[in-house]
Amino acid sequence: MKSRRIPRSAHDLRLPIFPTPLRSGAGFKPEHLGDILADARKVGFFEVHAENYMGDGGAPHAMLDRLRADYPVFLHGVAMSIGGEGPLDKAHLARFRRLVDRYEPHVVSEHLAWSTHDTAYFNDLLPVPYTRAVLARVVDHIDEVQNALGRTLLLENPSTYVTFDSSEMSETQFILEVARQSGCELLLDVNNVFVSATNHDYAPEDYLADFPLHLVREIHLAGHATDQDDAGHTLLIDAHDRPVAAEVWNLYEKVIAVRGPIPTLIEWDNDVPEWSVLKSEADAADVILSRHASDAHPELRHAS
């Protein structure tokens, strides 16, 4: 396991310290702020994309400051390019670090993906082959991020549309080995599991049976779109533009039945609905979490 800088102690923190929210949360959208503040029934937490807050000031920070006073905030990166061939962007990592220092997020996460090559940036989360060489690179990059932030990073499993003949291990084996060698923990996106399993014709339950659920500290749920590939086969797209599908809810309950309640985010990033619609999705997750409240992981039960 890689060594990491020791994080700050609780007495160094400036903002409210919230317990681990064993509930649902929502991705924060600025247009929802008024309804959120007026809603007597609070969600458990809010998550924001780090890249949306890398400016120094303005309305986005004013709104997030207001939200952070009342809620745990989770910080989710989408452009670190953890799986990229080249070195990490030091300026981007420094901006990320400033956000962590400013908002003291409960959780910091990123994707198992790449999005940069030399000076080119691709507005997508692209897959990596599961080889030993890529494993070493991903571990080094995560180690660099964790040392820079002084925080344990959660790594999210990808949604994939292609596989690589060069892969030397399964996705779950790769993720487990990344976590073992880097000391990172995991963010399980259940919709990504279902999307990838459908696209590559394997059972999502088999994937979850091999996934290191004991390392999962957060779950993502989202909606997906249905399309077809060139051969006429079903192709699912991780669209984040609609309610969570019934099949994904079923998988999610199976995970919670095994893992116990952990923070669960509803992601809805495109065609964003009114707050009441997004909140209803979060309420549905809370119903499932409540059904398994007695199954809480001992570590998280103590933290809460």
How many helices, marked H, and strands, marked E, lie in the chain? 10, 12
What is the pLDDT, as a whole number, of residue 154? 98
d(CA 183, CA 247): 32
What is the pLDDT, as a whole number, of residue 125? 76
Phi, psi of 179 (to 5 degrees): -65, -40
Token pair of 194, please? Answer: 């279902």
State pLDDT tens for residues 61-99.
999 999 999 999 999 999 999 999 999 999 999 999 999
Q: How confident is the model at residue 2 (pLDDT cuts 50, 70, 90)?
A: low
Q: How confident is the model at residue 239 (pLDDT cuts 50, 70, 90)?
A: very high
Q: How confident is the model at residue 215 (pLDDT cuts 50, 70, 90)?
A: very high
Whether the CB-CB separation of 260 and 289 falls below 8 Å is answered with: no
Total-model pTM? 0.92
Does residue 300 surpass a pLDDT of 50?
no
> What CATH number does domain 20-303 carry, 3.40.50.150, 3.30.450.20, 3.40.930.10, 3.20.20.150?
3.20.20.150
